[in-house]
Homo-oligomer: A and B are copies of this chain.
Amino acid sequence: MAVEISAGKLRNLACLADTNGRFKMLAVDQRGSLQRALARSLGKDPQAVAYEELAQTKATITRVLAPHASALLTDPIFGYPESVRDIPREVALLLAYEATGYDKAGLTGRERRTRLIDGWSVDKACRAGANAVKLLLFYHPDASDETRAYQQDLVRRVGEECVALDRPFLLELVTYPLAETGNDTPEFARHKPDLVQRSAAEFSKPEYQVDILKLEFPGDLKYTHEYCHKVFDDRERAPQYTLEQVAGYCQRLDEAAQLPWVLLSAGVGIREFLLQLELAAEAGASGFLCGRAIWQDAIRHYPDQAAMERFLAEEGAWNFLRCNAAAERALPWQLHKRFCGHANMALAGRSPLWYRDY
Contact = CB atoms under 8 A, between A and B. Distances in A.
Contact of A11 (B128, B165, B166): B128
* Tier of interface size on chain A: 35 or more
Contact of A128 (B7, B90, B127): B7
A348 to B, nearest CB: 10
Interface in A334-354: 342, 345, 347, 350-352, 354
A14 interface: yes
A355 B76 contact: yes
Contact of A85 (B51, B78, B342): B342
B11 A93 contact: yes
B19 A84 contact: no
B19 A88 contact: yes
Contact of A126 (B93, B126, B350, B354): B126
B128 A166 contact: yes
A92 B55 CA distance: 28
Interface stretch (A117-125, A291-299, A314-322): A117-125
A14 B89 CA distance: 6
Given A81-B347, A354-B76, A7 B127 contact: yes
A85 B7 CA distance: 9
A129 B80 contact: no
A89 B14 CA distance: 6
Contacts of A129: 7-8, 11-12, 15, 166
Contacts of A78: 352
A37 interface: no
A87 interface: yes
B352 A51 contact: yes
**How many monomers of this protein are in the complex?**
2
A10 B345 contact: no
Contacts of A137: none
A273 to B, nearest CB: 25
A268 B119 CA distance: 51
A77 interface: yes
Given A89-B19, A166-B127, A80 B354 contact: yes
A128 B342 contact: no
Contact of A84 (B118, B119, B347): B347
Contacts of A14: 85, 87, 89
A164 to B, nearest CB: 9
A347 B87 CA distance: 14
A11 B117 contact: no
Contacts of A124: 355, 358
B81 A11 contact: no
Given A119-B355, A127-B166, 18 more contacts: A8-B129, A11-B84, A11-B129, A14-B87, A15-B89, A15-B129, A18-B89, A51-B352, A77-B354, A78-B352, A80-B355, A81-B347, A81-B350, A89-B92, A90-B90, A118-B356, A126-B126, A129-B166
Interface of A: 7-8, 10-12, 14-15, 17-19, 51, 55, 70, 76-78, 80-82, 84-85, 87-90, 92-93, 117-120, 124, 126-129, 165-166, 342, 345, 347, 350-352, 354-358
